[in-house]
Structure 1
Amino acid sequence: MGLHGDGEPADTEEAIMQATYRALCNHGYTNLTMQAIADEFDKTKGVLHYHYDTKEGLLVAFLEYLLDAFERSIVVDETVPPDERLEALIDRLLFGPPERTEVDQWELTTAMLEIRSEAPHNAEFRRQWERNYETVEATVIAIVEDGIEQGLFRDVDPEHVATLVLTAINGARIYQVTLQRDDVAETARASLDSIVRDWLEAPERDEE
């Protein structure tokens, strides 16, 4: 993912996306300006305006860039058993990537929440968030369907599982940021573990 990658950006567009990321983390959505982004950019402000006329246009492109990278980061290894895949996906969604990043995850999550809050008023933001949700939901559904087929999970409604898991994770991330409490995510992880163990896993596995 270019936002955290080493070395020089591959091209000007990548450099603009990285500059936007740093500026968003440092200033938040409300205080974000084209000048703030330009200050993080190693080229002139004119180059920035050549590619994007407005802040909104730039943020629409940035959100698409960020969500595309996020979706690539949650691709799961289909050779791993479904229960392990589900656990790995939950961990990634709750705690982010395991590798160390150059920007504080609190700052990034807070900034993303601010962009998300604009979605009810911005059709393009909303479209991208909807696509993102549907992608993650489809990933959870596919894992659960695979687990049912293999006899690891009960014969439950995969869509209900996806809704429950994603609602719990999204709620935990919101409270984690607004209350600045890391333990919220840990508690949500433990609760989801219990749900998977007590509700989702097939009875035959409980007896093993």
Structure 2
Amino acid sequence: MRLLLVEDDRRIAADVERALQAAGYVVETVRNGEEAWFRGDTEDYGAVILDLGLPDMDGLAVLKRWRANGRSMPVLILTARGSWAERVDGIDAGADDYLPKPFRMEELLARLRSIVRRSAGHASSRIVAGDVELDERQMKVTLRGVPVALSPLEYRLIAFLLHHRGRVVSQHELDENVYGHGEDHESNALEVLVGRVRKKLGADLIETRRGFGYLIPETTP
């Protein structure tokens, strides 16, 4: 899943980016409000982690402009501003959750998983499709209860499709959420990756909709 991290503190940004990448996310990091607003307004992200104290434009103003323009991606505010009044302002502006600094990385990841689940309509960190189960908390995929060894790219692919189960996901959207924006790869890399996942998890799990994309149906054999 592709995330936007907006944090002007380089040390914090580097630590969070490493943790997110280790958790299977594709991360794009920006350090000022103007660029954050532009990226969030013109690109599609699975979620945003947004600091409030930003150069050029305050994070709260960025969030308000996104919501005013109809941008609905889940947003986790991450900031040193910890008063209850400021938290209320953030939630009222359209934030999905609020985590004050300093924080534990485990809590950040848990809150991020929660807002992403809610936006996709999932109540649990476990998603089941037929004999396949994804446990986001442990980053584990099982087939009929047996753990399946997946590469990071294979995990990103199956996790994204399961989060959007029942919807046809275009090749372009999968490219950006599996490989990252602008990352070089062969033109048939996604097709090859889907083939590898099918071999490990079952040929019928992922359907190909020619000219449209890929789908894990709501009712999986």
Per the normalisation by structure 1, the TM-score is 0.27
**More strand per residue:** 2
Which structure has more relative contact order (CA 8 Å, sep 6+)? It is 1
Higher radius of gyration, 1 or 2: 1
Per the normalisation by structure 2, the TM-score is 0.26
**More helix per residue:** 1
